[in-house]
Chains A and B, each alone.
Chain A
Amino acid sequence: MPQPRHLDRTGPVKYLTEFRDGAAARALAREIRETATRRWPIMEVCGGQTHSIIRNGIDQLLPDEVELIHGPGCPVCVTPLEVIDRALAIAARPGVIFCSFGDMLRVPGSAHDLFRVKSEGGDVRVVYSPLDALALARQHPDREVVFFGIGFETTAPANAMAVHLARREGLRNFSMLVSHVLVPPAIEAIMAAPRNRVRAFLAAGHVCCVMGWWQYPPLAERFGAPIVVTGFEPLDILEGIRRAVRQLEAGEARVENAYERAVTFEGNRPAQRLLAEVFEPVDRAWRGIGVIPRSGWRLRDAYRDFDAEARFDVGGIVTHESAACRAGDVLQGIIKPHECAAFGTDCTPRTPLGATMVSSEGACAAYYNYGRLHQLQRA
């Protein structure tokens, strides 16, 4: 039954239709199948790509030779437990308006989550941009407004801009709990790990929109791994995989840009300048993985007044991950989610031990849902 005609028009955002075309997707998948002659573990770094793969079922179109490993690119999943505990401590303070992206609210700290803090009287608000938090700070000069600044290079420019504007306007009641992470050091850490299985990477298209792809050729060369800058729609992801497989089969290890409609070699220079002005590299702990050298950003000294960790003196909060959770091994492709002893028993979407079980596109949660279906279909 076709759609009523007035709903069938594509409108201005063609990506929602053209880049999801079923016939074109199957043609790309066929080409991948014809190209791949042996097993190639390929990691998509970014959580947005994982979401698209799960949401559209892209992995089901691929031949067995292509193994997708869902990498550590979900900012919610890799934000360390102790940073979440610090967020919970700040959000519970009287007089604080704590602003966060929506999907952080359900991520468990060691005792509870931001939803619980809200139900107990904390003023926790979902915002879509750090600039919304800045507006709240202007509206409520008598309150401390704190923004939970997490994410990769993608969300960083808006966060940098918020802090930059706060300083310029002299907004004394605005601060940011910063836990930014960076893609290139993560790729380096994964490739350098002794148990690494990953042979090629799909680099995150939106990260490269900001940063360009000039950082990646040395990594591709050093580790002999193709890196393909890849977008987020089904055709983007299939094209990224196609190019990665073609390089792997040919024994090449180059950086290719399969997201040319958005990404240039240099990236967004004004954004990079702002980032360099506001942030400086720092060793950063990744949830489940551990500390990766120079893999994050923190506020520079000139902006330290806006650092919520210092303002609320929560730097002393130190907590440890569940010993049973092997999310780090999952995120590095060392084990599959169901190979974890806690999977489906102690750890379910209702009672997640790690963040990969929290979000529905987290690798563990995705396996949990599919796994139940496959069990039913076998029965």
Chain B
Amino acid sequence: MTDIPDPSAWSCPLPLRDHPAVVMGHGGGGTLSAELVEHLFLPAFDDPALRLLHDAAVVEAPAGRLALTTDSFVVRPLFFPGGSIGDLAINGTVNDLAMVGAIPLYLTAGFVLEEGLPLATLGGIVQRMRAAARAAGVRIVAGDTKVVDRGHGDGCYINTAGVGVVAPHVDLSPRHARPGDRVLVSGTIGDHGTAILSVREGLEFESVITSDCAPLTGLAQAVLAAAPGTRVLRDATRGGVAAVLTEIAQAAGVGVVLEEGALPVRPEVRGACELLGLDPLFVANEGKMVAIVPAAEADAALAAVRADPLGRDAAVIGTVTADHPGFLVARTGIGATRVVPLPLGEQLPRIC
């Protein structure tokens, strides 16, 4: 699998070479901690507010309302086709901000490192975070590192918190969905979860399935510009598109009807899900947005999303209805309907 990012491309700066892997001292607040910050984190994140190394970052406050969010990232393996935990840590928080219509500005990054994690791996993760932050247009202004004993973590956990600014007229909420609205998805579904599962289970397919990890700010702003009446934006992460739509149906007291035939799914993802007994509707995405827009603005919203390379596979996949409030219903390929029930926990592969 050639397109898994290669952390070994990162070369360890001189003072860090005495310890090629994370040791408890890297979290101890002494010289080792300082060296890690100075030679690994600061050059990568390269931010004037961060460089001051104060207890908190002091940044300019934009006019208007602030959006705040936080998310923790736990993924195995740390690097996978199309991304890494570093990409997820940036884009996950950026996307949470983007979904309330915010322009993401500042991020903090907290690391929980497991003793023994190769510094080259950490370096690789941090490089990916740098690139992802640049691509998303956010600054990483504060950080923290803790080290836990070997065996007490999966190499690296990351928490990021983010601040963004929301324009005055923007008011997005799952409660705003109304009967008659259209449901858009910004591209193919199930890519991220299937990519992770296929590397975790050592499954090899003819073509590599790649995570869709990407920032959604551009798509979100494009929809808001083209469809000012937009009711809801959601990124369809854990639980997939089905979980997001069920939550919207429950929050707004409406029903949602999906056209299964309209769902954009890559053939290789569809095949892998068939093989594993999974439904792409429940599989996680890391760069896909669901938008609920008034019917009259649906065409404009779709055109705006498709104009962005990240949204070229966007499709209208369903309708909001007054029927069956709280329920997601799918119209199947053969023209029948079924309730799409949320799994209680994780989706479990079926035996046959």
A residues touching B (Cβ–Cβ < 8 Å)? 1, 3-4, 7, 9-13, 16, 20-22, 25-26, 46-48, 51, 54-61, 75-76, 101-106, 115, 126, 128, 150-152, 154-155, 206, 234, 349-350, 359-360, 365, 369-370, 372-373, 376-377
Q: How far is the CB of B94 from chain A (nearest CB, A)?
A: 25
Q: How far is the CB of A169 from chain B (nearest CB, A)?
A: 20
- Of A16, A55, A126, the residue contacting B332 (CB under 8 A) is A55
Contacting pair B315 A58 (CB below 8 A): no
Closest to A127 in B: B201
Contacting pair B315 A20 (CB below 8 A): no
* Chain B contacts for A350, CB-based, 8 A: 344
- Of B313, B335, B339, B352, the residue contacting A372 (CB under 8 A) is B339
**In this assembly, does B337 line the interface, its C-beta being within 8 Å of a C-beta of chain A?**
yes
Contacting pair A16 B274 (CB below 8 A): yes
Q: How far is the CA of A48 from the CA of B201 in the complex (A)?
A: 23
* Chain A contacts for B351, CB-based, 8 A: 47, 75-76, 101-104, 150-151, 155
Contacting pair B334 A3 (CB below 8 A): no
Contacting pair B312 A4 (CB below 8 A): yes
- Of A1, A102, A372, the residue contacting B302 (CB under 8 A) is A1
Q: How far is the CA of A76 from the CA of B350 in the complex (A)?
A: 9
The stretch among B2-10, B45-53, B320-328 that forms the contact with chain A is B320-328
Contacting pair B327 A349 (CB below 8 A): no
- Of B264, B277, B324, B336, the residue contacting A7 (CB under 8 A) is B264
Q: How far is the CA of A54 from the CA of B338 in the complex (A)?
A: 7
The stretch among B20-28, B58-66, B265-273, B289-297 that forms the contact with chain A is B265-273
Contacting pair A370 B312 (CB below 8 A): no
* Chain A contacts for B268, CB-based, 8 A: 11
Q: How far is the CA of A130 from the CA of B259 in the complex (A)?
A: 37
| Secondary structure dominating the interface of B | loop
Contacting pair B334 A101 (CB below 8 A): no
**In this assembly, does B137 line the interface, its C-beta being within 8 Å of a C-beta of chain A?**
no
Contacting pair B271 A47 (CB below 8 A): no
**In this assembly, does B129 line the interface, its C-beta being within 8 Å of a C-beta of chain A?**
no
Q: How far is the CA of A12 from the CA of B271 in the complex (A)?
A: 9
Contacting pair A373 B336 (CB below 8 A): no
* Chain A contacts for B313, CB-based, 8 A: 4, 7
A–B pairs, 14, beta carbons within 8 Å? A7-B188, A7-B267, A16-B270, A22-B333, A22-B335, A51-B350, A57-B334, A101-B351, A102-B277, A102-B350, A115-B345, A155-B352, A373-B339, A376-B327
* Chain B contacts for A11, CB-based, 8 A: 267-268, 271
**In this assembly, does B329 line the interface, its C-beta being within 8 Å of a C-beta of chain A?**
yes
Interface-central residue, B262, B302, B338, by most chain A CB under 10 Å: B338
- Of A9, A76, A206, the residue contacting B267 (CB under 8 A) is A9
Q: Which 7 A-B pairs have the closest CB atoms?
A: A57-B336, A102-B349, A11-B267, A102-B348, A25-B334, A60-B336, A101-B351
- Of B271, B276, B316, B334, the residue contacting A20 (CB under 8 A) is B334
Closest to B274 in A: A16
* Chain B contacts for A57, CB-based, 8 A: 332, 334-338
Contacting pair B315 A3 (CB below 8 A): yes
Contacting pair A128 B334 (CB below 8 A): no
* Chain B contacts for A61, CB-based, 8 A: 334-336
Q: How far is the CB of A213 from chain B (nearest CB, A)?
A: 18
Contacting pair B339 A128 (CB below 8 A): no
Q: How far is the CB of A150 from chain B (nearest CB, A)?
A: 7
- A3 with B262, Cβ < 8 A, contacts A25-B335, A56-B332, A102-B349 known: yes
Q: How far is the CA of A360 from the CA of B264 in the complex (A)?
A: 24
Q: How far is the CA of A9 from the CA of B270 in the complex (A)?
A: 12
**In this assembly, does B15 line the interface, its C-beta being within 8 Å of a C-beta of chain A?**
no
Closest to B264 in A: A7
Q: How far is the CB of A132 from chain B (nearest CB, A)?
A: 8
Contacting pair A1 B334 (CB below 8 A): no
